[in-house]
Amino acid sequence: MEGATESAESDDNRGRLSQRLRRERLSSYWFTGAGYFAIALFALIVLTLIYQSLPLLSEYSLVQVLTSSNWDPARNEFGFLPAIVGTIYVTILTMLIGTPIAILTAIYIAEYAEGRTKRLVSSFIDVLAAIPSVIFGLVALIVVVPFVGNYLAPVFGSSGTGTGIFTVSLVMGIIVTPFMISLSVESLEALPDELRESSLGVGATKWETIRLVLLRAAGPGIFSAILLGFGRVFGATIVPAMLIGGQTRLPDSLFSTGQTLPTLIVNDFGELMSVPITQSALIFVGLMLVVVVWIFNFSAMLVRRRLQRRWQY
């Protein structure tokens, strides 16, 4: 009787184990399928963009479209240099404005703020990150544009309405900062307390501990936060479209109006997509955005791995 009971329990255990193994195998298939689906989707997007860009590249050389500053689709002139320069200006200036603010704020929240103050500042950072970009654009049209046009630009000898590269960069710096702060704070707070105690124990001050130990240990995470900010700025559309002025010409100062690659697509998409060669030109702009972001992310991944190996704690 006991032997029969043990045999039944053994069969039951084998059945449950077999069921768990089946579920695990099925889950593995799903995860593998999802990974290959993501790769296939990316390849499909890139191939579509390449195929749709061929009409433009069959009539104009790559060097010609990348180095020409003449953008006039009505005359079949497709020079992307002004939009490329505008994109580079906006991205660099935004990161120069946003990155120091993000890192210093993250250090304050993670290492200095305590109790209610820390919760209050962190909650405001989260709220800022959740506000839609178009709201920042509307507020900037009312507040930032008149301030830049009437007061700031004249100080540097420039004139204009206040829309332009500097205004876009200033507003985008505010938009991307909360994301970089949140990720940087997580990286700093994830460090073990023993790291801080060891540094303070050998006589280092708190600032020396932050500068020489914590920032190095959290470096890969902070670097990833900066990359996220770069990606958001490079592909930003609505705020640059509202504030940059929409002039496809080479900017002669940081307060000049201009154009970025995403705004070039947005501004000309509706009325010009019916013309095949112009449609191909705008799709080529999308291809450039994808290629640049992919190259940057791949390079950043290599740099991040190098930092992780060098700054191990």
- SS3 per-residue string spanning the chain: CHHHHHHHHHHHHHHHHHHHHHHHHHHHHHHHHHHHHHHHHHHHHHHHHHHHHHHHHHHCCHHHHHHCCCEEHHHCEECCHHHHHHHHHHHHHHHHHHHHHHHHHHHHHHHHCCHHHHHHHHHHHHHHHHCCHHHHHHHHHHCHHHHHHHHHHHHCCCCCCCCCHHHHHHHHHHHHHHHHHHHHHHHHHCCCHHHHHHHHHCCCCHHHHHHHHHHHHCHHHHHHHHHHHHHHHHCCCHHHHHHCECCCCCCCCCCCCECCHHHHHHHHHHHHCCCHHHHHHHHHHHHHHHHHHHHHHHHHHHHHHHHHHHCCC
- Token pair of 164 as six digits: 């332009």
Higher model confidence: residue 304 or residue 150?
Answer: 150
Indicate the pLDDT class of residue 167, thresholds 50, 70 and 90: very high
Same-domain status, 34 and 73: no
Same-domain status, 125 and 199: yes
Q: What is the CATH number of the domain that holds 171?
A: 1.10.3720.10
Same-domain status, 1 and 145: no
Same-domain status, 163 and 299: yes
**pLDDT (tens digit per residue) in 128-143:** 888 888 999 999 999 9
pLDDT at residue 14 in the model: 78
Same-domain status, 121 and 251: yes
Same-domain status, 70 and 127: yes
Mean pLDDT of 172-187: 90
Mean pLDDT of 75-89: 89
Mean pLDDT of 2-31: 78
Residue 141's domain spans which residues? 64-310
Same-domain status, 35 and 99: no
pLDDT at residue 102 in the model: 92
pTM of the entire structure? 0.82
Examine the pLDDT at 182 and tell me if it is beyond 60.
yes
pLDDT at residue 50 in the model: 92
pLDDT at residue 236 in the model: 84
Same-domain status, 1 and 20: yes
Mean pLDDT of 224-237: 84
Last residue of a domain, one of 38, 59, 80: 59
**pLDDT (tens digit per residue) in 42-76:** 899 999 999 989 988 888 888 888 888 888 888 88
Angstrom distance (rounded) from CA 155 to CA 147: 11
Same-domain status, 265 and 306: yes
Mean pLDDT of 192-221: 86
Same-domain status, 133 and 263: yes
What percentage of residues in the chain have a pLDDT greater than 70? 95
Last residue of a domain, one of 17, 37, 59: 59
Examine the pLDDT at 162 and tell me if it is beyond 90.
no
pLDDT at residue 273 in the model: 66
Same-domain status, 96 and 215: yes
pLDDT at residue 155 in the model: 86
Mean pLDDT of 221-236: 84
Last residue of a domain, one of 25, 43, 59: 59
**pLDDT (tens digit per residue) in 275-311:** 788 888 889 999 998 888 888 888 877 877 777 776 6
Angstrom distance (rounded) from CA 221 to CA 190: 10
Tally of domains within the chain: 2
Round the average pLDDT of the chain to a whole number and report it: 86
pLDDT at residue 311 in the model: 63
Same-domain status, 193 and 72: yes
Higher model confidence: residue 93 or residue 200?
Answer: 93
Mean pLDDT of 184-202: 87
- Of 73-77, 168-172, 214-218, least confident by mean pLDDT is 73-77
| 147 within 8 A of 196, measured Cβ to Cβ | no
